[in-house]
């Protein structure tokens, strides 16, 4: 299991308040709100942490720059992809890559 899988498993293994607390902590580390692609719609709907929670439902579709390479979650998890808000979560991207 690599570093990112450990972050995801760590989150999934928790329930209730402990899971909420872990999620809150990860969301606080996410720097998406400082990114040029992030918009008012995403802010209003509370979207964030796309690398784990998946792509933007209906707010983001245009690539205007991605801050993920500077994010502490990406550094800790060894993430190298960009635009999780548009392309989907890291795990979804990995599944796609496996399919070829
Ligand atoms: S890697 Fe990107 S999507 Fe994931 S927490 Fe960091 S800024 Fe947010
Ligand atoms: S995933 Fe990247 S492009 Fe999308 S909002 Fe977060 S930092 Fe910006």
In the predicted model, what is the mean pLDDT of residues 64-86? Answer: 98
Report how far residue 30's alpha carbon sits from residue 84's, in angstroms, rounded to the nearest whole number. 12
The rounded distance, in Å, linking the Cα atoms of 85 and 83 is: 5
Give the residue from 37, 7, 11, 26 showing the smallest Cα distance to 71: 26
For the chain, the domain total comes to: 1
Q: From 31, 33, 35, give the residue whose CB has the most ligand 2 atoms within 8 Å, as the site to mutate.
A: 35
The domain of 43 spans: 3-99
* Mean pLDDT, range 12-19, rounded to an integer: 96
Confidence of residue 100 (pLDDT cuts 50, 70, 90): confident
Task: Give yes or no for residue 74 CB within 6 A of ligand 2.
Answer: no
Handedness of CA 89, 41, 66, 27 (dihedral sign): negative
Mean residue pLDDT of the chain comes to 97
**Closest-lying ligand 2 atom to the alpha carbon of residue 50:** 1
77 Cα–ligand 1 center, Å: 10
Ligand 1: atom nearest CA of 32 is 7
Residue 16, pLDDT score: 97
């Amino acid at each position: 299991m690599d570093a990112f899988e450990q972050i995801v498993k760590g989150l999934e293994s928790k329930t209730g308040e402990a899971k909420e607390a872990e999620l809150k902590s990860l969301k606080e580390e996410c720097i998406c709100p400082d990114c040029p692609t992030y918009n008012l719609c995403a802010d209003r709907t509370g979207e964030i942490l796309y690398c784990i929670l998946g792509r933007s439902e209906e707010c983001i579709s245009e690539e205007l720059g991605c801050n993920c390479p500077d994010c502490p979650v990406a550094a800790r998890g060894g993430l190298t992809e960009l635009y999780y808000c548009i392309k989907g979560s890291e795990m979804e991207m990995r599944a796609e890559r496996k399919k070829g």
